[in-house]
Amino acid sequence: MQNFNLIDQPWIPVRWTTGSETTHPRLVSLGDAFRRGHEIAELDCAPHERIALTRLLVCITHAALGAPEDSEDWDGFGDDVHTKVPDYLNRPDIYPHFNLLGDGPRFLQEEVVATKDPVPCSKLIPYLATGNNPTLLDHSGMNANRSYSKASIALALLTFQNFYPLYGAGYKGRGPCSDSNTIHTLICGSSLGQTICLNMLDMESIESLSPNGIGKPIWECQSKDELEESTQTYLGRLVPRHRSLKLSDDLKGFYHQKDSLQYPGWEPFREPSSTIILNKKEERRILPARPERAIWRDLHSITSLHLTSGKSHLRAEAPSILESHSSLLEEETLPLWTGALITDLKAKILDTVESTFTIPYGMLTEDGRHVYASGIEHAETVSQKLYGAIKSYWGALKHETPPVGEGQKHYWHRLDQEHKELIRLAGDPEARRGQASFGEANAKDLWTELVRDAAKAAYNSVCPRTTPRQIQAYAAGIKLLMRALFPKKKTSKDYAPQTV
């Protein structure tokens, strides 16, 4: 049995800035990820794996280098990552904690009582059919003879500890990254080394985010009390151990126990990559990912760098990493990656989502976000009118189950392909000054036209007109929709005082 130390052995999937897999390996070790971070373009993995790996790399870098005092002290910070971080990892008191196997300390594992039948390791991997995971892409289920590479299990274990919700009967804990289906936002750099530094926090941001301060990573904790305290500190939460388990030596299964570390969710602890919004009841909530709602529809919340008490659609708090690197606002654009793992109320894993955006400077201003939020509000208003028009059509035909869902899916799918136009408009708020608001009768902007075209196409897709009866129903529905898309232009008579 080999220890398979993650500092030396390749297990992190990456994409290089130059070269191919024949000259550059697809998997690298932790040591090489830091030593050659300037040569690596990005991580090459699923959304939930990218989030977990980024948190690990950020945590290790903080542990080795500390953090700047505030957001103004980033100049030069991290220039020595390629030397100081490998030195930290190779310290005698740190190195053994990154063994995946062996008799000593193990990475994100602890000693538990071995049972006769371990849980199959497929339970660590959400896209494999195990338990209530679907068999769409996998049919081997809980096959006891299934084998896994050490590299794949290392990545699966890290992701499991970050994300898996409510696993096991009677177990109430959850990975901090899975709380409320959080949309995680990361800043993208030109290389992996730069990306790591861009997703770190300064001390001022850490203290505002974590009431118990920066703390220490779990592999530095020496006692039970320190382990308990780590669940409420910044570094302790970046790489959690929310489930007490130990891998079997053949890597086909793992042993676990009910008792484990409990990581408090939102609120009071907020993850640095999460966005906070205010609902209609003025309650603070995490911005969640939803299968039916593309992430671009919430960009005005994700980029809201200051809590605004004026316009309700701007009342949000951007991820702490954006606040900490506010100096980036001086650049022309800000590259962002967003992603999430989505579960239902019973903790069944439904899907993973991810999106990348190039945000122009203008959209990071309040005027830019107001333009963007207004465009989203207009699109959602038209979606509601489309709902009513489709209901009217099928109601006229006495149909009890109108396909309103299909129509709205068609509508939003069209806008999903065109959302960059709204980002462009929001990036130049000055160009919209003096123009009509989105959706008004005299509005001539491209976004209003795109919304109109998408609504008409969606209505036509589910409301055929091939028979006289269908034509009559079509006319009733399209009349409602066209009133919404082309509202009557108000004249001076509309503003005249009414007599009774």
pLDDT, tens digit, 9 for 90 and up, residues 374-410 = 999 999 999 999 999 999 999 999 988 999 999 999 9
Beta bridge pairs of residue 278: 284
Q: Going by DSSP bridges, is the β-strand pair 27-28/119-120 parallel, antiparallel, or unpaired?
A: unpaired
Rounded CA-CA distance 50/162 in Å is 11
Return the pLDDT at 479. 95
Per the CB < 8 A criterion, the answer to whether 241 and 107 are in contact is no
Q: How far apart are the first and last CA of the chain?
A: 92
Confidence of residue 309 (pLDDT cuts 50, 70, 90): very low
Residue with tokens 């333009």: 371
Per the CB < 8 A criterion, the answer to whether 314 and 298 are in contact is no
Stronger pLDDT, 24 or 325, i.e. the higher one:
325
- Helices 47-65, 81-89: crossing angle, 10 deg rounding: 90
Rounded CA-CA distance 482/499 in Å is 30
Per the CB < 8 A criterion, the answer to whether 354 and 47 are in contact is yes
Residue with tokens 């980033």: 74
Return the pLDDT at 45. 95
- Whether 1 has a pLDDT exceeding 80, the answer reads no
- Angle ∠(194,94,111) on CA atoms, nearest 5: 120
Provide φ and ψ at 13, rounded to 5°: -75, 130
Rounded CA-CA distance 148/296 in Å is 36
* AA identity, residue 105: P
Return the pLDDT at 327. 79
Burial profile 275-313: b = 16 or more Cβ within 10 angstroms, e = fewer = bbbbeeeeeeebbbbbeeebbbbbbbbbbbbeebeeeeb
Rounded CA-CA distance 137/253 in Å is 21
Average pLDDT score over residue span 323-345: 87
Stronger pLDDT, 138 or 355, i.e. the higher one:
355
Return the pLDDT at 312. 42
- DSSP assignment, residue 261? -
Confidence of residue 495 (pLDDT cuts 50, 70, 90): very low
Q: What percent of the chain has pLDDT over 70?
A: 91
Rounded CA-CA distance 172/168 in Å is 9
pTM of the model: 0.91
Return the pLDDT at 321. 94
Return the pLDDT at 72. 87
- Whether 492 has a pLDDT exceeding 60, the answer reads no
Residue with tokens 């976004």: 447
Per the CB < 8 A criterion, the answer to whether 199 and 52 are in contact is no
Return the pLDDT at 219. 96
Average pLDDT score over residue span 81-105: 95
Provide the 10 A C-beta neighbour count for residue 449. 13
From 361, 359, 369, select the one nearest 317 (Cα to Cα).
Answer: 369
- Whether 488 has a pLDDT exceeding 70, the answer reads yes
Average pLDDT score over the chain:
88
Q: Which residues contact 231 (CB under 8 A, 6 or more apart)?
A: 237, 240, 261, 262, 263, 264
Q: What percent of the chain has pLDDT over 90?
A: 62
Return the pLDDT at 168. 47
Return the pLDDT at 7. 97
Confidence of residue 71 (pLDDT cuts 50, 70, 90): confident
Return the pLDDT at 308. 42
C-alpha separations of 349 from 16, 184, 263, 346 in Å = 31, 17, 20, 9
Confidence of residue 21 (pLDDT cuts 50, 70, 90): low
Q: Which residues contact 167 (CB under 8 A, 6 or more apart)?
A: 123, 243, 347
Residue with tokens 């900490």: 324
